[in-house]
Structure 1
Amino acid sequence: MSESPGLRARKKERTRDAIGDAAVALFLERGFDRVSVNDIAAAAEISKPTLFRYFPTKEDLVLHRFADHQGEAARVVRDRGPDTEPVAALRRHFRAGLDRYDPVTGLNDHPEVVAFHRLVFATPSLAGRLTRYRLDDEEALADALGEGVRARLLAAQVLAVQRVLARFNWQRIADGRTALDVHPEAVAEAEEAFDRLR
Structure 2
Amino acid sequence: MGLRELKMERTRRLIADKAFELFIEQGFDRTTIEQIAAAAEVGPRTLYRYFPTKETLIVTFVEAHLFGAVDRLRAQPDDMPVDEALYALIDSVLTTTAFNGPRVLAAYELAERTPSVRAEFSGMWYRWCDEVAHEVLRRSEGQSGEMTARLAAAAVNVVIDISVRSWVESGGKTSMRGLINRALELLRSGEVPFPAPTAPA
Asked whether the two chains share a fold, i.e. TM above 0.5, the reply is yes
Q: How does 1:51-130 map to 2 (within 5 A)?
A: 51-95=47-91, 98=94, 100=95, 102-103=96-97, 113-130=104-121
Residues 94-136 of structure 1, C-alpha deviations (whole Å, 9 max, x = no match) = 24654x5x42xxx789556534432232222111111111111
Aligned: 1:139 with 2:130: yes
- 8 Å CA contact retained: 2:18, 2:36: yes
Measure how far apart 1:79 and its partner are.
1.6
Distance 1:184 1:71 in 2: 19
Shift in alpha-carbon separation, 1:89–1:18, aligned structure 2, 3 A: same
Q: How does 1:16-27 map to 2 (within 5 A)?
A: 16-27=12-23
Could you tell me which runs of 5 or more consecutive residues in structure 2 were left unpaired when the two chains were aligned.
Answer: 191-201
Amino acid at match of 1:49: R
Measure how far apart 1:193 and its partner are.
4.6
- 8 Å CA contact retained: 1:23, 1:61: yes
Residues 23-57 of structure 1, C-alpha deviations (whole Å, 9 max, x = no match) = 11111100000011121122222222111100011
Amino acid at match of 2:182: E
Measure how far apart 1:137 and its partner are.
0.7
TM-score, length-scaled by structure 2: 0.77
Residues 157-186 of structure 1, C-alpha deviations (whole Å, 9 max, x = no match) = 221222112212221x23xx724xx45742
Q: Paired residue for 1:192? A: 185
Q: Paired residue for 1:153? A: 151
Match of 1:169 among 155, 167, 170: 167
Shift in alpha-carbon separation, 1:111–1:57, aligned structure 2, 3 A: closer
Match of 2:35 among 22, 36, 39: 39
Provide the aligned length of Structure 1 versus Structure 2.
Answer: 183
Residues 49-86 of structure 1, C-alpha deviations (whole Å, 9 max, x = no match) = 11110001110112222132142343233222233222
1:59 counterpart SS class: helix
Measure how far apart 1:190 and its partner are.
3.8
2:29 counterpart SS class: helix
Distance 2:78 2:150 in 1: 21
Q: Which moved more, 1:113-122 or 1:129-138?
A: 113-122
Greater relative CO, 1 or 2 (CA 8 Å, sep 6+): 1
Q: Paired residue for 2:173? A: 178
